[in-house]
Amino acid sequence: MSAKVFFDTNILVYARDDRDPRKQRIASRLLTQHGTSRTGIISYQVVQELFNVLLVKASHKISPIDAQELLETVLRPLLFVHSSTILFSEAIRLQERYRLSWYDSLIVAAAQQAGCKLLYSEDLQHGQQFGPVTIHNPFL
């Protein structure tokens, strides 16, 4: 089995956004590859942020029925990290040590908690390491 990878919210947003076909293709391929091999991981935060974009902020919002289908077919199999005081405590430590935003520190803490080696994100610095987790921007 391949190493586990964590998906930041932007990867899931690009997989559904056809305004940038190149990014959509890359994001969709990563989700399919790691979904099929069951090596892809997301956290509760990624689900919350994604639905905030797709149901509230997007120019082409998805319907509640489509949101429910997305939850069941794509997100549920990836969702392994839930809210906890341990997660928040680690995020506080990461935020202080690396001067990350609160939400970025939660993403990194979730990737660490899940035992991921890679964190796919375009929001964090490509190649930066946080313990065993390395940031990888797949769109470079």
Give the CA radius of gyration of the chain. Answer: 14
Residue 1 has what pLDDT?
A: 54
Domain extent listing, the chain:
5-136
Give the tokens for residue 135: 């940031």
Across the 140 residues of the chain, what is the mean pLDDT of every consecutive 10-residue run?
91 94 97 94 98 93 96 96 97 97 98 98 97 97
Q: Which of 42, 5, 47 is nearest to 137 (CA)?
A: 5
The amino acid at 135: I
Question: What CATH code would you report for 5-136?
Answer: 3.40.50.1010
pTM, two decimal places: 0.95
